[in-house]
Amino acid sequence: MTVNNYHHRRRILVTGGAGFLGSHLIDRLLADGNEVLCVDNLFTGTKDNVAHLRDNPNFEFLRHDITEPLQVEVDEIYNLACPASPIHYQYDPVKTIKTSVVGATNMLELAKRLGAKVFQASTSEVYGDPSVHPQVESYWGNVNPIGIRSCYDEGKRCAETLFFDYHRQTGIEIKVIRIFNTYGPRMHRADGRVVSNFIVQALRGEDISIYGDGSQSRSFCYVSDLIDGMVRLMNSRDGFHGPVNIGNPGEFTMLQLAENILDITGSKSQLVFEPLPQDDPRQRKPDITLAQAELGWEPKVALREGLEKTIAYFEKAL
């Protein structure tokens, strides 16, 4: 006998769904048997990222800017909308902070009206240039409130404040994740982030631009690991709101990252050193103790394996 699971299927809103992370999240949610409404204004996202879902009856695309109110009927909300690379979020910094603050408010109001669970994609940038290493969720951060990165850093910090105030004031169920550097297929080739920059430059045989002396460190999480953490957080026990770090605690300098990419691609590109951008963090590494305890989560994809998959994507895309 065929069992009708219609009443068990969730209708899920993903804002920023045509972006790098949003499109991978939608793939996962659809694979889990949900209906997904993808909302994106296509400022940094692209329909190409979700083109393979065009004929999926459980997928719907809506072009909309979440700084404007949205009236839809859904069971859950993942709020990922916001440009996340310095080139994009500094292009229109006022718009960036509005997306984080006004957009978050609109999604929280929608969640309040629907009684829906709502998820906020926050960032390790809330820690700024950290004086605590590795970064734990209880650390309040070291952020310049008036710098060129502040539209993103402080916008995300304010969004976290809004989420917790709405929870305390209205009782809505919230989930807040702090995403550390993530990479993988569908990254924008011109987003200015270090992994895509290095790969594109290596594949084109161009000089690889290293800012500073290359000793600053990052922790790189492959996209499939991040998406698994996001879904685990959304489905975690009621009363656990986060914020929770999701990232790979393996720490690499910029020089080590460049050397890995040069080795995999076989590129003859040369390393060139340029001035470090303003407020660029010197080090970044997540403490994932909370994610391990509450979500049973830890990353599975090593940097070398993830870079090979990402490079294979860019080889076809360029």
Question: Which pLDDT score, from 0 to 100, does residue 3 have?
Answer: 38
Runs of H (alpha helix) within 216-302: 223-234, 254-265, 289-295
Lowest mean pLDDT of 3-17, 57-71, 247-261, name the range: 3-17
Question: Which pLDDT score, from 0 to 100, does residue 279 have?
Answer: 62
Question: Which pLDDT score, from 0 to 100, does residue 18 have?
Answer: 97
Q: pTM for this one?
A: 0.92
Q: Centre a 10 Å sphere on the Cβ of residue 110 and count the other Cβ atoms it contains.
A: 22
Average pLDDT over residues 126-153: 93
User: Tokens representing 119?
Assistant: 């998820």
**How far is it, in rounded angstroms, from Cα 89 to Cα 108?**
22
Catalytic residue among 89, 127, 152, 166: 152
Q: What is the mean pLDDT of the chain?
A: 93
Question: Is 219 a residue whose pLDDT tops 70?
Answer: yes
C-alpha distances in Å from residue 308, one per residue of 17, 197, 263? 25, 15, 10
Lowest mean pLDDT of 2-16, 129-143, 195-209, 271-285, name the range: 2-16
**How far is it, in rounded angstroms, from Cα 145 to Cα 75?**
35
Average pLDDT over residues 147-165: 95
| CATH homologous superfamily, domain 8-183+220-248+285-300 | NAD(P)-binding Rossmann-like Domain (3.40.50.720)
Question: Is 6 a residue whose pLDDT tops 50?
Answer: no
Question: Is 44 a residue whose pLDDT tops 70?
Answer: yes
**How far is it, in rounded angstroms, from Cα 196 to Cα 183?**
8
Percent of the chain exceeding pLDDT 70 equals 96
C-alpha distances in Å from residue 136, one per residue of 127, 141, 220, 232, 240? 9, 10, 17, 19, 16
The DSSP element (H or E) to which 150 belongs, if any, is: helix 150-170
**How far is it, in rounded angstroms, from Cα 254 to Cα 80?**
27
Lowest mean pLDDT of 73-77, 78-82, 85-89, 137-141, name the range: 85-89
pLDDT band at 224 (very low <50, low <70, confident <90, very high): very high
Answer yes or no: 183 catalytic.
Answer: no
